[in-house]
Amino acid sequence: MKFDIVVIGSGPGGYVAAIRAAQLGKKVAIVEKAELGGICLNWGCIPTKALLKSAQVFKYFNHAEEFGFNKPSDLTYEFGNIVQRSRGVADTMSKGVQFLMKKNKIEVIKGEAKVRPGKKVMVKGDDGVSNEISADHIIIATGGRSRELPALPQDGKKVIGYREALVLPEQPKSMIVVGSGAIGVEFAHFYHTLGVDVTIVEFLPRIVPVEDEDVSKQLEKSFKKAGIKIMTSSEVTAVDTSGNGVKATIKTAKGEETLEADIVLSAVGVVANIENIGLEDVGIQTERGKIKINDYCQTNVAGYYAIGDVVHGQDLAHLASAQAILCVEKIAGEHVEPIDFNNVPGCTYCSPEIASVGYTEAKAKEAGYEIKVGKFPFSANGKAVANGSKDGFVKVIFDAKYGEFLGCHMVGDGVTEMIAEAVVARKLETTAHELMKSIHPHPTMSEAIMEAVEDAYGHSIHI
């Protein structure tokens, strides 16, 4: 079988690449060994958000008195039903990708793929039979999986990764979450909201360490107020699963201590799926566990490309999709611009949510900028107060000399729906003056962006 483009992997990078290629008139095949939609739709972004929505509903019920309702009787639930709803949402989205494949006349080939020299792909089907297909262009989008630490081997039962955390057969009474990136804090929030005793163990000095320091401090404050225990500058050095639960040995600044829990969730990052896919046979270069590419997702071997979690950059679904479109449009001969990795937003869906783009305050200073910083608390925002969501703030960073919008960092209820304004503003090289003079609707949470900018330039009205 001969195609114009073959895509390996059907996650947010792979299926988007296939659809865009088909739109541009290419004959396209996509190879997938599991469910269409990849990890994001089936075992990541989407089912996780479904779980978090259930947690939000439960949280609203338990705080009904704050909104003027009489104290309700206890709400009961079946943990399995919450998990089942999440799986149903994932299944719906996966079927949506199946529909898009048919709509765009994309050949879906089930099986495990290996790239071969001469722009070929060998696909081993479920029946064990291998078939060779060829293409003018081959895009590798095989994604990533949960990283395992030597001291924290995952058995899938007592020491688990994010995949098992989505479908636990029963709700644990206690959980240790190792790692406080997006995956760690989202699951910590979900399980804690349902009544699980949760402890977060973070190796670095603060949780969500890639975020602005003020955001980290706010999330830690909010989590501790909610009852989540947090151990920073701490490391799990050993786990004992021989008993009913798990005993974890934690190395801290004060010495060693032992924590006991039903489950340990290892959320220490993602590793790229680049093993056993034929890279060495083709001569495709890798670097620090990822495939090496140029600004247009081209590898060192002509006709082979890579996108998403298998290449360096943030491991984010929306970045994989952006790379997919850039890669395919470059193949088709269209004019494309390299991705600005400093303008890729990051979102974390715990409570309060986190959303950010661009330089943190510390990174801006490290880069040599003289900066202006503005901050507006949601405790002074009418919509946030009315919503009962006063925790958090919007923080903006500008270059003091030229007014360049360097970064925006938010923590609060619903901020993941607000960050796109900052992304577009930075893309258009919008100035602080233009942001301040753009009328924001009242009452909305988004007003906090305008008011944070006003604060940076000494024009603040409400603080």
Q: Considering 192, 312, 440, 442, which one is annotated as catalytic?
A: 442
Annotated binding-site ranges for NAD(+): 179-186, 202, 269
Annotated binding-site ranges for FAD: 49, 309
Annotated binding-site ranges: 49, 179-186, 202, 269, 309
- Is 442 known to be catalytic? yes
Report the 3 state secondary structure along the chain: CEEEEEEECCCCCHHHHHHHHHHCCCCEEEEECCCCCHHHHHHCHHHHHHHHHHHHHHHHHHCHHHHCCCCCCCCCCCHHHHHHHHHHHHHHHHHHHHHHHHHCCCEEEECEEEEECCCEEEEECCCCCEEEEEEEEEEECCCEEECCECCECCCCCCEECHHHHCCCCCCCCEEEEECCCHHHHHHHHHHHHCCCEEEEECCCCCCCCCCCHHHHHHHHHHHHHHCCEEECCCEEEEEECCCCCEEEEEEECCEEEEEEECEEEECCCEEECCCCCCHHHHCCCEECCEECCCCCCECCCCCEEECHHHECCCCCHHHHHHHHHHHHHHHCCCCCCCCCHHHCCEEECCCCEEEEEECCHHHHHHCCCCEEEEEEEHHHCHHHHHHCCCCCEEEEEEECCCCCEEEEEEEECCHHHCHHHHHHHHHCCCCHHHHHCCCCCCCCCCHHHHHHHHHHCCCCCCC
Catalytic sites, residue numbers: 442
